[in-house]
Amino acid sequence: MSTAAKIAGVASAGMMLFMGIKKSYAAYHGNEQEEDEKTMKKPGEDGRMLRRDFEENPKDYFLDHRRRKNCYNE
């Protein structure tokens, strides 16, 4: 194996390690902001949603929910 191939292999492995660490850090620390925000059960659905999103415009939430529900029933 040539020296250039060895250098390329080491550089590639280093980049993969860096990206893995970066992704792990983002996954762990990226949720901290969301944990501070209050959530609520989705009205008429399973799951949870940010309370802020619902309180900003509940009318549009229910209109969208009704559209999605009717789409599945057709």
Which structural domain range is residue 31 located in?
1-36
Number of domains in the chain: 2
- Nearest 5 degrees, angle CA 19-CA 13-CA 28? 25
42, 31: one domain: no
Q: Give me the tens of pLDDT residue by residue for the chain, a chain 74 residues long.
A: 788 888 888 888 888 887 888 887 777 766 555 557 899 998 888 889 999 989 999 999 888 888 887 776 65
* Predicted pLDDT at 12: 83
User: According to the model, what pLDDT value does residue 35 have?
Assistant: 59
Helix (H, G, I), strand (E, B) or coil at 39: strand
End-to-end CA distance of the chain: 63
Do 31 and 1 have their domain in common? yes
- Please give the pLDDT value at position 39: 92
